[in-house]
Structure 1
Amino acid sequence: MQQPFFKKHRGVIIAFLIILLWFTSLAVLLQLQVNWASLITYLFVLLQTHLYTGLFITAHDAMHGVVSGNKKLNKTIGVITAGLFAYNSFYRLLPRHHAHHHHVATDLDPDYHGGNFLAWYYSFLKQYITWWQILLMAITFNVLKFFFPVENVVLFWMIPAIVATFQLFYYGTYLPHRGEHEPDNKHKSRTQSKNHLWAFVSCYFFGYHYEHHDKPYVPWWQLYKVKT
């Protein structure tokens, strides 16, 4: 018996929904009359940040091959979503992320750093940001400001990308892997307390990080189901 269309392709549908929401939100917000005194302005910044994070999480799922069973489509979605997130290269991220899973919290883990918070964050940025990305972001910024107000470009395109990078680092790398781990913790990973709403809002359930390392074949939108 064939699966219903949505159930069979829901990974792809969810990925395209995130892309569509990001594009639509950005298109609207770039033309918004900014009111610096209004709380809604800053809520829109947070919304766009959340959607940026969703782009990267989708690219991450594609690295694990769980967006689509069609390998070509899975890779294409990964390339698109990684690229939309500050011109990241899916092909550059892929080996680094798998090295993280295979050598978690060791010297061979590109995501791991034994130093303090700021040193670790700086190391993380060096791993995932290249001069080519900075150059392309600068070019895009200068193009966008010809068509949209500079404050809109900064508020809704630039700042959300920066904050999302910090969000991914803090909830997906620093909190789960910092400090010492118990000898029987085979994934050297901590996990958030069970709170599905906060887990989604904070980082698309990736605070459930032990569960992700234990079952990397589970897509982000199913992670809450394996949380104990």
Structure 2
Amino acid sequence: MGVLIALTIISAWAFHLYYILNYAEVNFSSPLFYLHILIQAYLYTGLFITGHDAMHRTVSKNKTINDWIGRIATFLFAGMSYNRLIKNHFMHHKHPGDEKDPDFNTKSQNFFLWWLTFLYRYTTVTQLIVMAIAFNILKIWFDEISIWMFWVVPAFLGTFQLFYFGTYLPHKKPHTDEMQPHNARTLKKNHLVAMLTCYFFGYHHEHHESPHTPWWKLYQLK
């Protein structure tokens, strides 16, 4: 089931991107234009959630299949290194919300400063080169404005969504007793809101309690 769900998200991301790059009009007065951006951003978030599940070995029991799906999903998300993500993510689970947590900003709880720090820590020179090459390849077939609005902007919105619902809200201070031992809070039980905001990832305390539960089963832990 995990492989099917992962491939569905990856395929939906690819097909929708292909459609909007080819057929959607960049029209800032059209509600449909913004809807396409939001849908693609949500699918970008799904790519990373898929890669995240692969890091926890919940996409497939076959390690090779699991890891390749994780590599594909994180690469499509933003040219990211799956192996580097695994190392950082396991550090996050080992030291959630403290100075050793690569996802946590101990110097400031300001949302934008933390988000920029988060982006800085996870962005590499290799990644920027890969994305620059991909951008210029896409320019061979598609209008540059379409690439910016339908490929670049949704990716940034996806990082914003992931950070806000998957890092900032769950782990920001103050760290209360009910957040222990993971320094992680959780959304109130509302499965529709949880799914729409970040693929149930807002049920974050539950994720830290049971990291081997795939995202599509997290709601069962509420």
Once the two structures are superposed, what CA deviation does each residue of 1:88-112 show, in whole Å capped at 9, x if it has no partner?
1100100100000011111111101
1:192 has 2:187 as partner: yes
Tell me which of 164, 174, 191 is aligned to 2:168: 174
Q: How far is the alpha carbon of 1:121 from its aligned partner?
A: 1.1
Q: Which residue of 2 aligns with 1:101?
A: 93
Large movers: runs of 4+ above 4 Å:
none
What is the alpha-carbon distance in structure 2 between the residues aligned to residue 180 and residue 153 of structure 1? 40
Q: Which residue of 1 aligns with 2:197?
A: 202
2:2–2:58 Cα contact (<8 Å) kept: yes
Q: Which residue of 2 aligns with 1:149?
A: 143
1:16 has 2:7 as partner: yes
1:46 has 2:38 as partner: yes
What is the alpha-carbon distance in structure 2 between the residues aligned to residue 182 and residue 16 of structure 1? 38
What is the alpha-carbon distance in structure 1 between the residues aligned to residue 111 and residue 74 of structure 2? 25
The TM-score with structure 2 as length reference comes to 0.95
1:79 has 2:79 as partner: no
What is the alpha-carbon distance in structure 2 between the residues aligned to residue 86 and residue 11 of structure 1? 22
Q: How far is the alpha carbon of 1:17 from its aligned partner?
A: 0.4
The TM-score with structure 1 as length reference comes to 0.93
3-state secondary structure, aligned to 1:31: helix
Q: Which residue of 2 aligns with 1:29?
A: 20
1:89 has 2:81 as partner: yes
User: 134-143 or 194-203: which moved more?
Assistant: 134-143
1:52–1:160 Cα contact (<8 Å) kept: yes
What is the alpha-carbon distance in structure 1 between the residues aligned to residue 160 and residue 28 of structure 2? 23
User: Given the superposition, is the C-alpha separation of residues 138 and 216 from structure 1 closer, same or farther in structure 2, using an over 3 Å criterion?
Assistant: same
Give the % identical residues.
Answer: 49
2:24–2:33 Cα contact (<8 Å) kept: no
Flag structure 1 segments of 5+ consecutive residues without an equivalent.
1-9
Once the two structures are superposed, what CA deviation does each residue of 1:166-192 show, in whole Å capped at 9, x if it has no partner?
111111000000012224521110111
What is the alpha-carbon distance in structure 2 between the residues aligned to residue 87 and residue 223 of structure 1? 27
Flag structure 2 segments of 5+ consecutive residues without an equivalent.
none
2:41–2:155 Cα contact (<8 Å) kept: yes
